[in-house]
Chain A
Amino acid sequence: MTGKFAVRARKGDGYAVLETDLYLNQTAGEELSKRFNELLEEGYLNFIINMERTKVVNSVGISILIEMIEKLRERGGRLIFCNLSNVIDKTFRIMGLTQYAEVKGSEEEAVASLKEQA
């Protein structure tokens, strides 16, 4: 089931994109956190998490997203989620994540938002 938990990272101009796979659970969350921390150490402060492939999340995986939000708050960075399914969008709103991270419909909208406020 390894493929369900893969995380891919891409670097843009002043931002980084992390792509999650089918299931965001503890295993995927830890991998996501590892890649995020590496990019943070490289100096990236603006992140987009593209969840287009993600169909299922659990609260353990989301708790790792909250850790990432916390780190970016401390450093004055930004996190934008994009391509959320309806249930993931609803879950983030129930938990209040959207008070501390933005949600955009597509990666292009997320990039545009980062560039507007750069």
Chain B
Amino acid sequence: MGGSALSAKIIQLVIPMEPNLELVAAETASTIAELMCFDEDGIDEIRMAIIEACLNAFEHSHSPERKVYITFHILPDRLILEVTDHGKGFNPSDVRPPSIDEAVRGGRKRGWGFKLMRSLMDEVMIETGSWGTTVRMTKMKRRGGGCYDR
């Protein structure tokens, strides 16, 4: 992480991998984004992206401790969300892109998480290995937004 992000205001959250607890992450993200004066669409997009990141961790990480660690970095011009699990990691090149044409013809219907995160956020980076996985997502504020620049 760069120096500018280190000087950010940081909020951390740990959630157990239990059904519907992704909503706790979503509501926290939503509150932070609201305080930062993101517009309504921006807040909804952040909420949806963090839900997908949590669900990926819940379903695919095989984390023995069954916890997700979320860090929110509040910067004047952006919100950075890091979603980390201590699971088995994965090879991003093994992730097959989803296809709606295939899905409506009896094919695979799941696997949309990363596509949605990448489409809803401005930047998505994945670090993964035998230690686990961190998905780092950035949402930039639109100009003229900022009420949490202090």
List the interface of chain A (C-beta within 8 A of B): 1, 23, 25-27, 55-60, 62-63, 66-67, 69-70, 73, 85-87, 90-91, 94-97, 99-100
Contacts and interface: CB of A to CB of B under 8 A. Distances in A.
A59 B103 contact: no
Interface stretch (B72-80, B82-90, B109-117, B127-135): B109-117
A1 B20 contact: yes
A54 B49 CA distance: 16
B52 A59 contact: yes
Contact of A85 (B22, B44, B103): B44
Given A58-B52, A91-B120, A100-B104, 14 more contacts: A23-B23, A25-B20, A58-B55, A59-B55, A63-B110, A63-B112, A70-B105, A73-B104, A85-B44, A86-B44, A87-B44, A90-B45, A96-B101, A99-B100
B41 A59 contact: no
19 contacts: A25-B20, A27-B19, A55-B44, A56-B51, A57-B48, A58-B22, A58-B51, A59-B112, A70-B103, A70-B105, A70-B106, A73-B104, A86-B40, A87-B41, A94-B115, A94-B116, A94-B119, A94-B120, A99-B100
Contacts of B41: 86-87
- Grouping DSSP codes into helix (H, G, I), strand (E, B) and loop, the A interface class, with mixed when no group exceeds half, is helix
Interface residues of B, number: 29
B100 A95 contact: yes
Interface of B: 19-20, 22-23, 26, 40-41, 44-45, 47-48, 51-52, 55, 98, 100-101, 103-106, 109-110, 112-113, 115-116, 119-120
A114 to B, nearest CB: 20
A92 to B, nearest CB: 10
Contact of B112 (A27, A69, A95): A95
Contact of B116 (A23, A26, A95): A95
Contact of A90 (B23, B100, B103, B120): B120
